[in-house]
Amino acid sequence: MQEKIKTLISNAKNALKSAANMSDLNSVKVAFLGKSGELTSVLRGMKDVPNDKKPLIGKLVNEARDAIQSFIQEKERILIAKETAEKLEKEKIDVTFKGTKKELGSLHPCTLVIEEILDIFTNLGFTVKHGPEVETDFYNFQALNIPKDHPAREMQDTFYITEDLLLRTHTSPVQVRTMQSVKPPIRVVNPGKVYRPDDDATHSPMFQQIEGLVVDEGITMCDLKGILEEFAKRLFNDPNAKTRLRPSFFPFTEPSVEVDVTCSMCHGKGCRLCKGTGWIEVLGAGIVNPKVLENSGIDPEKYSGFAFGLGIERIAMIKYGIPDMRMLFENDIRFLKQFK
């Protein structure tokens, strides 16, 4: 039995020498110290040992267990140190090696324009109001003096969901909702997405607008022109920028105007951007139709107001000289990098 214990210790040493990793080490541990291991097998043979020899053999078995456990712990320390060194070697970073530059993102040109416009109008005393993109027929058309037989109501001009629900074609419904909930004086701007079935170089089925509304006593076209001229000077960073009002028609304003601004590229001298005219059309505006005020619960005999609306994509195209609106939606990194 004594020779068997010595042989067991020797075999354990040899097995540990060939253990190349922690998995091999665990296999050796199970083979010698496990429930079905060789040392357990020796203990089971104790019943055949004479009673006078059992104390000695028991002592030798315990010493063998302690020795094998000690060998295993030492081998485990060596393997851990080896694996740690290999991992450090594999994952080490050469701090002198030239790194890869990570490019920073930037805001989309439309977002830049929206933030700049909102900043201008909030500094002029306006507040920002938002509304739903899925609107009712009343808020999108009827309240804005657009009856059932108006051309804007035809199916090809609007995305209808049901007979009474649609994707809003402008952000003007937010103005109606504001007038219904807030008493004059009112001075708000309404940014948001709008939807119309158009798709070409200068139109998109989804685009963004910012509309403005001022309602108070004694509001005139002079107030509208003054606000828009100050807006143009700040937006195009041109203290000499001028606005020009041309007669137009919108159902929700009367009188209505198209608003031109002196070209931001040539400052009115004439260039390819303004097609030699010195002027660029930027928005539509007008005095709020008394019928719209009445539909919104405001007395048109006491109050008047003006409203205006501009397309964000169009302003971005003018401001940054972008020739095709679709470039704003294609997400070409080469294009977007220019706006960092």
* pLDDT single digits (tens) 127-177: 999 999 999 999 999 999 998 887 767 655 788 899 899 999 999 999 999
Predicted local confidence at residue 203, as pLDDT: 67
Residue 229, pLDDT > 80, answer yes
Q: Where is mean pLDDT largest: 57-71, 148-162, 231-245, 300-314?
A: 300-314
The residue whose two tokens read 């998109």 is 204
- What is the overall mean pLDDT for the chain? 86
Dihedrals phi, psi of 339, to nearest 5 degrees? -105, 15
Contact 309, 285 (CB under 8 A): yes
Average pLDDT over residues 240-259: 92
Q: Where residue 211 falls among pLDDT bands split at 50, 70, 90? A: very high
Identity of residue 187: R
**Distance (Å) of CA 298 to CA 180, 190, 292:** 8, 19, 9
H-type helices in 18-53, by residue range?
Answer: 22-33, 38-44
Distance CA 76, CA 83 (A): 10
Predicted local confidence at residue 68, as pLDDT: 80
Average pLDDT over residues 203-223: 92
